Structure 1
């Protein structure tokens, strides 16, 4: 996996700057069921998922709520905790053995002085996070449960063979029973 090429495309920066950026990341293996982060901790890592699956979720008084299922090709962190040094709201746990490329918070802070393109890269990352959040909010407001299912399935069909369905249902803002009903309709 050419991580520099991925960073060059993701952040729209030159290959030279992407190589400088990638050079600060170290490989890390997160075994199945291991935590990347637990609620209340401060997130000190910004990672790129090379392989595997992770679940971002929170526990409320009544239930667990899955915010996101991450797989290869996505970045992983608790944005509020990492950038603003707040205690993490989310648990982040491996659903399978997961290989990451990880940047420490200390190295992240050094980038501003060392990497001329850093502010531009950081701005793009935060903007992408915001755009994804806007898209999720729109989906919840404007789409029916069936439409949310169809959109998710078109984007992440592999999750339906690798992730417990109750987690996917939670990401989609529905009960496992509703997801099962929708899936049964799709296959009938």
Structure 2
């Protein structure tokens, strides 16, 4: 795995809807900008070797970093794979939609739900929204949220941006009734 850089973003919301948020709501993202392991090879039928060589190492690298950046236990989480213009969306999906990648985050966060994800192809600086859901119950509405991310110089055409995001709480000032009230 060839890493060009790692980007860490932390957002702290102090006011939402004109009301103070106490304690401030924290969300963190750690993104690795890596060389696409399938770049320049044309159509690759068997993505397995590239998955085996990269997915677990990438998950092991990013999971502890995003939780450290959050600075609190995670209550919600998500992931992203953004593919440069010379790659296929399937290249990003191959790395993040495997237990070899996601189980590092699930174990580190004591989570049981599937990680919600976004995959997309785009040029350097493309904006993407990472969806977040509760770490143990995907039906908890307060934790359904998203975080917009943009890395000015990534991904280059032959790169991938692979990111993990974590939130220490649900949406600030959330007040929707629980899903059980509609069933």
Common fold by TM > 0.5: no
- Could you tell me the TM-score, scaled by structure 1's length? 0.26
- Could you tell me the TM-score, scaled by structure 2's length? 0.26
Higher RCO, 1 or 2 (CA under 8 Å, sep at least 6)? 2
Structure with more helix by fraction: 1
Structure with more strand by fraction: 2
